[in-house]
Amino acid sequence: MEGAVHYVGISGGTLPVEQFDLGHGVSMHRTYAHLMSPCLMAFAPAEAGKPHPAPWRAAKGGFSFDITIELRIGDDQKPRGFNDAETAAWIVTLLRLGYAPYLTAPVTIDMPFSEAPRSEDAPTITPLETEDRNFFKSAERPDEIPLHELEWLKTAWHPAAELARANPQLLTALQAFDACRVRTRTSQSVLTIWGALEQLFAPSAGELRHRVAANIAAYLVPRGPERLATYKHVLKLYNARSAAAHTAKDLDRGVMLESWVILRNALVKIITEQRVPSQTDFEHLLYADVSPVDDGAISWGGRPKTTADSSG
């Protein structure tokens, strides 16, 4: 009900502290629960109000997750137009954007995970994100999320939500970024990513291929040879996107990862600067500006890499 705390389980990382306050009535807490959802089959229809008759048979399959973080959404000042579930989804999306795409929120629960073993009422679990994924944590990457990443999330999530509500193209791009964590045809993911990039980097009509590539390069890389190299690199990826749009052939996964990193870097820069670039901004970057791009706003580097270190 409205006013109750909304609890979301997060898997794939741990907190460096017992709890972390994200502000606006939202907090993250250390926890542990191993969620198991095995498959069980019955083989005859059930009568009204009765269970399916025997025999029942356990089957291979299902899913399981280690829930290690509990996200709590309290009844406080949420971003404009967001309910509890949307606020939780938004925060998890920004956590993936800022830190690691392999983090997932498998379920919500109607009580703290720590209270579930002793509760008189059985907890109600609602599945959220249980699909096959594109990204997995490498063995070398630590489980613990660095404190500075949580501080970035605390600073960014609420104003970024307000910015996205005021700029539908940003909201669409963030939703497209997050959708690509789900495993599907590579060409479908590439089309999703480039649809988002077109939303952000083609604010006016014109020759789309050149305009999008030029605007991305100008936005992410300082003027000079590296910007030209990035422009040519983006053109190559855009050509692959066109092949995905007009043929039935699937693409190499590296194309998806390189395109995804470009989108990720652009979104981090937009959120860090709290500004969605306009056509006027792109024209200034292309033809007038000589100042360098702030590399600190793009934590994975300005030039797209060939692989994401957190992909699998």
Cα-based torsion angle of the residue sequence 284, 289, 295, 298 in order, rounded to the nearest 10 degrees: 10
- Omega of the bond leading into 51 within 30 degrees of 0 (cis): no
Task: Give the other-Cβ count within 10 Å of 33's Cβ.
Answer: 20
C-alpha distances out from residue 167 to 32, 96, 162, 276, 282, Å: 37, 21, 9, 8, 17
Q: What is the pTM of this model?
A: 0.78
> What is the model's pLDDT at position 197?
92
Q: What is the C-alpha separation between 154 and 161, in angstroms, rounded?
A: 12
pLDDT in tens, 212-271: 899 999 999 988 889 989 998 998 888 777 766 655 566 678 888 899 999 999 999 999
- Spatial CA neighbour of 177 closest among 275, 282, 90: 90
Q: Tokens 């498959």, residue?
A: 39
Q: What is the C-alpha separation between 131 and 181, in angstroms, rounded?
A: 9
Q: Tokens 């404009």, residue?
A: 80
121 with 171: CB under 8 angstroms? no
Which residues of the chain fall below pLDDT 50?
Answer: 1-2, 297-312
pLDDT in tens, 275-302: 999 888 888 888 776 665 555 544 444 4
> What is the model's pLDDT at position 293?
56
Is beta strand 19-23 parallel, antiparallel or unpaired with respect to 6-11?
Answer: unpaired
Long-range contacts from 114-119, C-beta under 8 angstroms, 24+ separation: 114/31, 116/33
Q: What is the C-alpha separation between 204 and 198, in angstroms, rounded?
A: 10
201 with 209: CB under 8 angstroms? no
> What is the model's pLDDT at position 186?
81
> What is the model's pLDDT at position 310?
44
